[in-house]
């Protein structure tokens, strides 16, 4: 079968492309400009013609994906802004929502072979930020960020712009499926990962060009953060990029996954937990706060993540395993020595 992967040059997407090729699929990747393809062609040179690229310069345009969806059996839609460089909520919300609607519209019209669409959503479409600890499940939606941007516009926090963009894009996808139920022959799966960490395969121009999540890992674990206090106060949920990519591929091949939202968290952390994991492999890394007692931390956000094992049949990497792979990878790529 052939799979369309949008934003194929991104951190998560390159891993999805790799898994798909390893499993024998042909891949058509979309990139925003021609210049982003040669590096990937070279990275996956051993797969020859099984990997091809098409340029979709503006994913928000009507019909942008009309050609790209022709002849593919499934779609992995990952392209969406994940950075904090915007100046207005729409800088995130418009590409996320219009990009999702545009690919689904093209699929409706021209994706006659498509059986399943996997949307890279985020745990940001599920969780709301609160001080009191809560367990979030796939039934829950982040309304908080939508309210924030509606009420405060560009005065709201950029992290809510991103969170709202993911929530509104995922909602738009489920709405599309509902509205076109009788006309479509495919179903939808939404992947809801938290922060993704792990080795980087994408093209880079030094550490400054790392994708946001791995830039944070680099900053906190290899550089010790901005100050010591952050290492024990800042945290969240994380998942290994290989687990995240595997989950995307399984979500496409496992029949039962159709129609599900799937939270995929490998666990909670404060940055000091990653420092401790990485220092088991590389003892000369900055030690951070040695008085940190991980077991005493009550994490405000915990996810219900059963579907990863029960539906997709996968097992999470540990922080030690992820750290090990990152350190090897950063050395190989000359990002750190």
Binding residues for ligand NDP, per CB under 6 A? 7, 9-13, 32, 59, 78-82, 95, 120, 122, 166, 193, 195-196, 211, 213
Question: In terms of CB distance, is 32 or 109 closer to ligand NDP?
Answer: 32
C-alpha span between 259 and 65 (Å, rounded): 23
Smallest gap from Cβ 6 to ligand NDP, in A, equals: 7
Nearer to ligand NDP, 216 or 275 (CB): 216
> Least Å distance between CB 194 and ligand NDP?
6
Shortest reach from residue 265's CB to ligand NDP, in Å: 10
Q: 230-235: which pairs have CB atoms within 8 A and are 24 or more residues apart?
A: 230/271, 231/270, 231/271, 231/272, 231/275, 231/288, 231/289, 231/292, 232/270, 232/271, 232/272, 232/288, 232/289, 232/292, 233/270, 234/270, 234/271, 235/268, 235/269, 235/270, 235/271, 235/273, 235/297, 235/299
For the record, the structure tokens of 247 come out as 């989950």
Closest CA to 222 of 281, 175, 167: 281
CA distance 234 to 195: 13
Question: Least distance (Å) from ligand NDP to the CB of residue 24?
Answer: 23
For residues 173 and 190, the answer to whether their CB atoms sit within 8 Å is yes
Work out how close the CB of 196 gets to ligand NDP at its nearest, in angstroms, rounded to a whole number. 4
Least distance between ligand NDP and beta carbon 293 (Å): 26
Give dist(CA 54, CA 62) in Å, integer: 16
Contact 263, 97 (CB under 8 A): no
**Residue closer to ligand NDP (CB basis): 83 or 152:** 83
Q: Say if CB 191 and CB 262 are below 8 A apart.
A: yes
Instruction: Give CA–CA dist 40/53, Å, rounded.
Output: 9
Q: Which is nearer to ligand NDP, 193 or 199 (CB)?
A: 193
Q: CB-wise, 188 or 289, nearer to ligand NDP?
A: 188
289 or 317, CB closer to ligand NDP?
317
CB of 295 to ligand NDP, least distance (A): 25
Q: Which is nearer to ligand NDP, 203 or 287 (CB)?
A: 203
- Residue 68 in contact with residue 28, Cβ under 8 Å? yes
DSSP letters along 228-270, please? Answer: HHHHHH-EEEEEEHHHHHHHHHHHHH-GGGTT-EEE---EEEE
Q: For the CB of residue 12, give the shortest distance to ligand NDP in the complex, in Å.
A: 4
**Bridge pairing between strands 74-77 and 116-120:** parallel
Residue nearest to ligand NDP (CB): 10
Token couple for 117: 């669409």
Minimum CB separation from ligand NDP for residue 330, in Å? 16
What are the distances in angstroms from CA 253 to CA 88, 115, 192?
Answer: 38, 10, 17
């Amino acid at each position: 079968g052939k799979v369309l992967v949008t934003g194929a040059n991104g951190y998560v997407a390159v891993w999805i492309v790799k898994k798909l090729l390893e499993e024998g699929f042909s891949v058509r990747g979309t990139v925003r400009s021609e210049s982003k393809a040669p590096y990937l062609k070279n990275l996956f040179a051993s797969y020859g013609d099984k990997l091809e690229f098409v340029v979709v310069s503006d994913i928000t345009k009507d019909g942008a994906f009309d050609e790209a969806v022709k002849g593919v059996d499934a779609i992995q839609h990952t392209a969406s802004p994940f950075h904090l460089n915007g100046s207005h909520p729409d800088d995130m919300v418009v590409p996320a929502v219009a990009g999702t609607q545009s690919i689904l519209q093209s699929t409706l019209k021209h994706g006659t072979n498509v059986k399943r669409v996997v949307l890279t959503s985020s745990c940001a479409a599920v969780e709301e930020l609160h001080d009191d600890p809560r367990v979030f499940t796939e039934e829950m939606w982040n309304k908080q960020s939508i309210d924030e941007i509606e009420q405060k516009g560009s005065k709201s926090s950029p992290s809510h712009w991103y969170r709202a963009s993911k929530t509104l894009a995922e909602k738009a996808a489920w709405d599309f499926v509902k509205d076109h139920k009788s006309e479509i022959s495919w179903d939808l799966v939404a992947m809801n990962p938290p922060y993704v960490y792990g080795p980087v395969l994408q093209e880079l121009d030094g550490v400054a060009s790392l994708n946001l999540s791995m830039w944070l890992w680099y900053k906190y674990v290899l550089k010790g953060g901005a100050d010591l206090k952050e290492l024990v106060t800042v945290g969240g949920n994380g998942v290994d990029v290989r687990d995240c990519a595997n989950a995307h591929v399984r979500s496409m091949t496992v029949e039962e996954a159709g129609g599900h939202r799937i939270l995929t968290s490998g666990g909670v952390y404060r940055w000091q937990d990653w420092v401790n994991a990485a220092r088991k492999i590389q003892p000369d890394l900055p030690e951070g706060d040695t008085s940190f007692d991980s077991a005493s931390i009550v994490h405000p956000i915990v996810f219900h993540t059963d579907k990863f094992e029960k539906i997709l049949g996968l097992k999470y990497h540990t922080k030690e395993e992820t750290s090990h792979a990152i350190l090897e990878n950063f050395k190989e790529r000359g990002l750190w020595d």
